[in-house]
Structures are given as structure tokens and as C-alpha cells.
Amino acid sequence: MAALLEVRGVTKRFGGFRALSDVSLEVREGERFGLIGPNGSGKTTLINCISGALGTDGGTLVFRGKDITRLPAHQRTRLGICRSFQIPRPFTSMTVLENLGIPLEYAAHGQVPRSAVASEAMEILRLMGLDAKAQARPADLTQIDMRKLELARAMAAKPKLLISDEAMAGLSSAEVDAILPILFALNERGITIIMIEHIMRAVMRFSQRIAVLDAGEKIAEGSPDEVVNNKRVETAYLGE
Amino acid sequence: MRKTVPLWVMLAVVLAAFLLTRLGGNRYIYFAGYFVLQYIVLATAWNVLGGYTGYVNFGTAAFFATGAYTALALILAFKATLPVQILAGGLTAGLLGLGIGYLTLRLRGVFFSIATLALSVVLQTVVSNWAYVGGGRGLSIIRPKAPELFAGHAEYLFVVMVLLAAGSVALAWWIENSWLGRGLAAIRDNEEAAECMGVPTLRLKLFATTASGFLMGVAGTPFPYYVTLVEPGSVFSLDYAVNSLAMPMIGGTTTWVGPVVGAILLGTAQQVATVTISSELNLLIVGIVLVAFVMLAPQGIVGLVQRLFHRRSR
Amino acid sequence: MVSLDLLLNAIVAGILLGGFYAAVSLGISVSFGLLDIVNIAHPAFVILGSYTAYAMNRFFDFDPLLTGLLFTPIFYALGEVVYRLYYMGFERKGEESLRGLVFFFGMLFIIEVALLLAYGVDYRMIEARYVGQSFHIGVVGIAFRLLLPCLVGLMVTVALHLFLSKTFYGRAIKAVSQDSQALRLMGVNPVKIKRIAFALSIATASLAGALLILIGPVEPSIGREYIGRVFAIVVLGGMGSISGTLAAAVILGVVESLTSTFSGPSWAPAVSFGILLVVLAVRPAGLFGR
């Protein structure tokens, strides 16, 4: 499998605080990649740097062989990198269907003819189990439906790489079991997925490979079993 | 609605207005009508950036004045005709919008708003120091004769303003229903998410600022002919900023209907009030109504009506 | 060749003006810098303070500084009322701050027009014994009407700085912008802290207004010139930094004074706009920003 995304020596500072120090990793095409680490380890910062919400202070980002380090976020989305948000950020004045219309019209521009946007959106909603709520407003949705909408929107952007940022945070066990199959299904369609989660059983079940961050540094990378048995990882989570 | 329908509606409206002027009637109607129509353009223009995109412009006067003074300069230098003035005034104001947008739109919306307020003050200073257009004391111009089709200047400018108002509403309607409008709405609802969904937020915001500025400038271009005495105090009046903001906020910001409703209601009310009570008291009331609406009925009149129908249809 | 006398006088006048500008900007430094509330109506409250000083001077022959101090608690109460309105209408619902911006713009307008109705467009000034006097240090003339507001401005700035760094409520105010969750865990209600902070910002307007009318005559619309100045100062100084506000105010004062002396007084408002744009483009965090 070829490398889809290469993160090479990325550093990010906020004033005097080093959020990321020389982080390097590689995500292969079609892979299910997990990113874990204790709170404040820099996971979301790394995601923000990859998606373009934040600029880097050092290092390069290469996507499908192209250097995207200086590219603005919306162009990275057009290239195929898409992220869902930890706290759902729907477009509140639009219906659920219209919410999907935006990524279909903009991020997936050219891939979907204007007349097919609505039907394409419905197709995605059906996959997520949200088609009954197509005309609803985000304000009327339940928590779990909002999370599904986040993923649906990310999917509508026709990504090659989907970054799921704690899509299951705060959900019950049953709800987690409802979201996980959706992510597997997306991966089966050829979408490479980076999953950031605190819910260990979800990450362990889902990921083929996992990277672990702690205090802005990558401290481990490997299969779920390798990572779980890694001493440094244990220390990072449990302390000395 | 097919794309050509608005064009026919526009022409019909302008024709109707023209025929109205042939009927005669009290001159005052045309002056009052000009006032309201001017605000339809300004409110619609404000709303493209404020209501559709979510960026608040406090400096309407700056763009309005740019149109007015561009027209004035062209009159003085080339005795330019009105259509040329309108085009030039609009383009200049549009460029101003683009410039301000380029400088401030990468930052938080708040700084854009403050910049527009400061812009008005600065532009007023510049104009007051520019002797060519009369400096602080202003300049008087002599209007060339109105075209023969029209009974007089009041009727002529009235019909011109009807055309401009119809045109700006048509433009707003087009933007609202296009992919552009949907992108702007995404920016308004959640700019960060929009950027992540592939919306080129900076480019769209710059478009909105330019279009908004353009329309405001266009609204200002007939002003020299309308008042004949052009002096900075009246051209840069804070009334323009407050009204062009209050009218959409009271009428409703999400569609083109809101600014029109707001302009007609508030504009007419002010015309009545200025005659019956003092103009300052009238402005005070506008301010209070604005604050009330922004707190209690943020969706404006259009929003209230929509909610009423929504409840009935359930 | 520029006259050295003129240059020195312009610089000194600018520094003195800067001290005064700091007094006017303190309110915004707290409400915008620390609470992220864009109260563009603040200059209008300052003008309100000026007219209060004027009225008290005219009817009771009160010294404006005295009025400024006496009315501080009243302005504080006014600030509390305004904050409650703002909170009820916007912050509680979590609306974007831009509608709050329109709310304050409406306030600005209402205050300005109300003053216009009450006092008309004519300039109002006060007669105080010390206002017309000045003294000289070498070639530099120092007018009391500039010196006094500068000194009072400095005192208020220092007082506020001490309040924010040494007292419980002051530190709570600094903390509420960064971590209201932590405050809640400590048993402190963040909303109450914000209300106190905002009320404090309006309270400073009372004294600032009194200083303003000492410097020169006022009329209802001059508040608008100050919007640009005040935000330029707070942004240049760095959000949430009181000492930054003072430094920026002095810088702005000097640049304005030099521009005024050598290019003409009507260009002064352009200075603040220019500084604001440059800072936002080059170093948005300001000089001492967090």
C-alpha cells in the first residue's frame, strides 16, 4: 500500500508552548489508522495542522505525493482531506439535506453534476440512517444524529482521507456500536480513515495501525497489540 | 422560478413607475419615494454582506459617499451623464469594498466591523480636505435638464431610483438562490466548518463585500442631482449606517424580502415622523426599535411571519 | 528643516494626550480585551460622562473631576443593567458576537441621539479655574488642561492594574476569560464576575468623560472619533494587558500629535485607523498580548 499522507517532522508552537515536536508518521492508502494519546498530547492540534485549520511552525505535509504544507484548508478539502468535528458544527439555518449540499457543491465540485446533488445527498443520508430526517433542522436532532450528520457531511465531501475527530465522545456503548459500522463501511468504499478516540475498545477494534502521542511527541507506532504492550504508552496514560 | 422572470418583473415595475409619473400628482410623492427607494438599495446592499454572510458593516456612509463623490467629480470634470456616473460610482465603491475586505476579512468579523466604522470617519476627513469637490463647505451644482420624457427632475430621479432598486433586489435574489448564496450562508452559519467543507471562504467574503459596496455606491450616485448642494456632513450622515442596518434587521436578514419590507416600513415611517415630530426623535425611535428587534426578534418581521405560517401548517 | 521647538511640544503634548487616551481605553481593555464583549458604545458612555460633568458644572458649579468621581457608582450601576440586557439577549443563548455588536451599535446611537435631543449640536465646555493655565519647562509648554487628565488617567490605569493583579475579584476577572470552568469549580459564578467587570468598564467612563470635557469642548458626535482610537489602542497594546493599553495610548497620542502639528488636525482620526490596520496586518497579538 502506497503512502497517502506523510507527516514529516511537524512542529507547532503556541507562544512559548510546544504543542507538537517533530512528529512524523505515515498513513497508507485504504488504511484504518488510529491516533491516541492522553488529554493535551496534541492530537487535535495535529489534526488541525493536517486539515489546514492551523499552520505549522516546521516540517512538511505530503498528500498523495503533493506538498500541501502551505495550502489553505478549503483547497486541501478539494484534494480529498476531510475532517469531522469533535463538537458538531452543522449549518444551523439549513436542513439536514442542505447541509450535505454544501460539501457536495464545493468540496466535491466537478465530481457531482448540479442536478444530482440532492439525490447524492439522500444516498449518503440513507447510508447513515438519517434519510427520514432529511428535511429537519440541526437544532431538532438528537446528539447521536448530530454526530451522524457530521460524518455524513464529511462523506459528502468525497474524501480520500477522512479524519474522524472523537466522533464517539460521550456516547453510550450502544451508540458507539451504531457509529462504528458506519466507519467500517466507509473504509470499505476505499476511504482511508484516521480515527482519534479515547474509547479504547473502539480504537482497538477499528485500527489496523495506531500511533500514540504524548506531550506533543510520537512515542509509539504499530499494530494495536504492539501499542497496548508498549511500556512507554502505559506510562503515558497511567503515570510512573 | 426561471432565471428570466425577475428581469421581466423588473422591467414591468420600472414601466409602472414611469407611467405613474406621467399621471402627475404631488411632487412630494416622488421625493418621499426616492428616499424610500434609495433605502431599498442600501438595505439590500447591506444585507448581502450582513444577512447572507454574517459580516456587519457599520460604514454604509463611506460607500454611499464614494458613489456620490465619484459622481460629483465626474460631473465637474467631464459633465458625465447619469448612466456613466452610476457605473463609475458603483465600481469605485466596489473597489473600496474589495480593499477593505482584503485588509480585514482574514481576521475576526469584529475587526472588519470596526474598520468600516473607522473608514467612514477617515473618508469624511479626506473629502473635507479635498477642495475640488468643495471641501468642508460643500459644492453646489446645476442640474442639466431632465430628459424630455420626464415632467421634471423629481420624476426623473424617482424612476432612476426605481430602476436601481429593482436591479439591486434582482441581484440579491439571484445571489440568494445561487451556489454563491448557499456558500455565503454556510460561512454565516459556521465559517470554520464551511472552510473544511471546501468553501473558499475568503474569496466568497470578498465577493460579498465588493457586491455590497458596489450597490451602496450605486445608491449614492444620483445624490448630487437629488440635493444639488453636496456637503460632507449630510453625505456622511450616521443615518445611512443606522438605517441600512436597522431596515434588514427589522425586516428580516435571510432573504431579499426582509430589506425591502424594512425599507418600506421604516422609510415611510421616518418620512411621516420627520414631518410630524423632530428628526432627532425619529432617529431615537429607530435606534430603540433596532435594539428591541435585535434582542427579541432576531429573525425580523419575515422570520415572525414564517414562524406564524409554520405553526398554522402543523 | 523642522523646528525643534515645535517637535518637542508636539511630542510632549502627545504623551500627555496618551495618558488621557489610556483612561478612555481602559473600559474597552476590560470589556473587549478580557471579556471579549465588543462594546463599541463605550465612547458614547464617555461622552455621557462629559455631559454629566457639564450639567453638574452648569447647575451646581461642581468641579468636573468631582462629578466624575461622584458619578462612578452610578455609571457602575448603569453598566450592570446594560450587561444584564446583553447577557439575556445574547450571551446566554450563545449567539455569535456579531449580533451583540449590533446591540451595542444601537446603544451608541441611542445615547448620541438622546444627547442631541437634550443638548443640541453646539459644543459645550466647562469653565474651571485651572483649565486655561499652563507653565513652561524650557521651550516646552505644558497646559494644565492636558496635564491634569494625563495624571488622573495614569492614576486610574495604575489603580486598575493593581486591582486586577492583587485583589480576588480582579484576578477572577482575568481568569474568567481564560477558564470559566475552573472558576466554577472554585465556587465562583463566572456570570457574576463578568457582570462586575463590565460594570467596572462602564464606571471608568464617568471619570474619563469628565477628563474629556476638561481637555476641550464636546458635542454628541465626537464619540465616533474615539471608537477608532480606543480599539486601535487596545489592539496595539495587546488584549487584556493594562500596561499594554497605557503604552499603546502614549504611542498613539504622540503619533497623532505629530500628524496634527505637521499635517493638520483633521488627519488625526486617520492615524488611529492606520495604526489599527497595520497592527492587525503585522502583529495582531499587539505589543504585550497574550
Question: Contact A73/B188, CB-based, under 8 Å?
Answer: no
- Gap between the Cα atoms of C235 and C244, Å rounded: 9
Q: What is the CA radius of gyration of chain A?
A: 18
Question: Contact A101/B197, CB-based, under 8 Å?
Answer: no
Question: Contact B125/C267, CB-based, under 8 Å?
Answer: yes
pLDDT at res. B313 = 59
| pLDDT greater than 60 at residue C1 | no
**Can you tell me the mean pLDDT for A9-32?**
89
Test mutation, A49, A81, A100, A102, chain B, max B CBs within 10 A: A102
Cell reading at B200? 473558499
Phi, psi (degrees; rounded to nearest 5) at C142 = -120, 115
Shortest CA gap B248–chain C (Å) = 12
Alpha carbon of residue A29 to chain centroid: 15
Which residues does chain A have within 8 Å of residue B195's beta carbon, measured at their own beta carbons?
A: 52-53, 72-74, 77
The tens digit of pLDDT for each residue in C35-73 reads 888 898 999 999 999 999 999 988 888 888 889 999 999
| pLDDT greater than 70 at residue A27 | yes
Test mutation, B189, B190, B196, chain A, max A CBs within 10 A: B196
A3-14 and A17-28 beta bridge pairing: antiparallel
**Can you tell me the mean pLDDT for A113-119?**
87
The tens digit of pLDDT for each residue in A180-196 reads 888 898 899 889 999 99
The tens digit of pLDDT for each residue in A60-106 reads 999 998 999 999 888 898 888 988 888 888 998 899 999 999 999 99
**Can you tell me the mean pLDDT for A220-229?**
88
Taking the CA atoms of B73, B74, B78 and B79 in sequence, report the sign of the dihedral they define: negative
Question: Contact B280/C113, CB-based, under 8 Å?
Answer: yes
* Region of poorest pLDDT, from B46-55, B215-224, C235-244, C270-279: C270-279
Residue type for C2, please? V
Burial class of C185 by CB neighbour count within 10 A (0 to 12, 13 to 18, 19+): exposed
- Gap between the Cα atoms of B44 and C236, Å rounded: 35
**Quick check: C155 contacting B, CB < 8 Å?**
no
Shortest CA gap A123–chain B (Å) = 18
Which residue of B182, B198, B254 is in closest CB contact with A109? B198
**Quick check: B205 contacting A, CB < 8 Å?**
no
Question: Contact C277/B55, CB-based, under 8 Å?
Answer: no
| pLDDT greater than 70 at residue C93 | no
Which residues does chain C have within 8 Å of residue B283's beta carbon, measured at their own beta carbons?
A: 109, 113
3-class DSSP state for residue C73? Answer: helix
Question: Contact B190/A92, CB-based, under 8 Å?
Answer: yes
Shortest CA gap B198–chain A (Å) = 4
Question: Contact B185/A94, CB-based, under 8 Å?
Answer: yes
Which residue of B118, B126, B291 is in closest CB contact with C272? B118
- Gap between the Cα atoms of B298 and B293, Å rounded: 6
Banded model confidence at residue C96, pLDDT cuts 50, 70, 90? low
The pLDDT averaged over each successive group of 10 residues in chain B (314 residues) is 70 82 77 92 96 92 95 89 91 94 82 84 85 83 78 84 93 94 93 89 95 96 90 87 92 92 92 79 87 87 86 63
Which residues does chain B have within 8 Å of residue C267's beta carbon, measured at their own beta carbons?
A: 125, 129
Domain ranges for chain B, please list them. 5-238
pLDDT at res. C145 = 82
Residue (of B125, B96, B26) closest to C263 by Cα position: B125
For residues B79 and B144, is the Cβ–Cβ distance under 8 A?
yes
| pLDDT greater than 80 at residue C179 | no
Size of interface B-C (CB pairs under 8 A): 115
More confident residue, C93 or A115: A115
- Gap between the Cα atoms of A205 and A180, Å rounded: 9
DSSP string, B119-137: HHHHHHHHHHT-GGGTTTT
pLDDT at res. A160 = 92
Test mutation, B47, B100, B104, B122, chain C, max C CBs within 10 A: B122
Residue type for A166, please? E
DSSP string, B220-273: HTTHHHHHSEE-HHHHT-HHHHHHHHHHHHHH-SSSTHHHHHHHHHHHHHHHHH
Cell reading at A185? 463501511
Question: Contact B183/A105, CB-based, under 8 Å?
Answer: yes
Phi, psi (degrees; rounded to nearest 5) at A70 = -100, 0
Q: Which chains touch B (3 or more CB pairs under 8 A)?
A: A, C
Question: Contact B198/A77, CB-based, under 8 Å?
Answer: yes
Phi, psi (degrees; rounded to nearest 5) at A41 = -80, -10
Cell reading at A95? 436542513
**Quick check: B189 contacting A, CB < 8 Å?**
yes
Cell reading at A232? 512507554
Which residues does chain C have within 8 Å of residue B113's beta carbon, measured at their own beta carbons?
A: 38, 40, 98, 101
Which residues does chain B have within 8 Å of residue A137's beta carbon, measured at their own beta carbons?
A: none
Domain ranges for chain C, please list them. 4-23+40-219
Banded model confidence at residue A210, pLDDT cuts 50, 70, 90? very high
Cell reading at B90? 458603483
pLDDT at res. B228 = 87
For residues B294 and C102, is the Cβ–Cβ distance under 8 A?
yes
The tens digit of pLDDT for each residue in A42-63 reads 888 999 999 888 888 889 999 9
Nearest CA in chain C to B296: C89
Highest mean pLDDT among A119-128, B302-311, C277-286: A119-128
Question: Contact A91/B189, CB-based, under 8 Å?
Answer: yes
B172 CB-side CA count, 13 A: 34
Which residues does chain C have within 8 Å of residue B54's beta carbon, measured at their own beta carbons?
A: 96, 98
pLDDT at res. C90 = 78
Question: Contact C113/B117, CB-based, under 8 Å?
Answer: no
- In B134-163, which positions are buried (b, 16+ CB within 10 angstroms) versus exposed (e)? beeebbebeeeebeeebbebbbbbbbbbbb
**Quick check: B197 contacting A, CB < 8 Å?**
yes
**Quick check: C120 contacting B, CB < 8 Å?**
no
Q: Would you say the ipTM is above 0.85?
A: no
Shortest CA gap A7–chain B (Å) = 19
**Quick check: B314 contacting A, CB < 8 Å?**
no
Shortest CA gap A120–chain B (Å) = 16
Q: Which chains touch C (3 or more CB pairs under 8 A)?
A: B
For residues B266 and B286, is the Cβ–Cβ distance under 8 A?
yes
For residues B52 and B175, is the Cβ–Cβ distance under 8 A?
yes
Cell reading at B1? 422560478
pLDDT at res. C97 = 62
Residue type for A184, please? F
Residue type for A180, please? L
3-class DSSP state for residue A7? Answer: strand
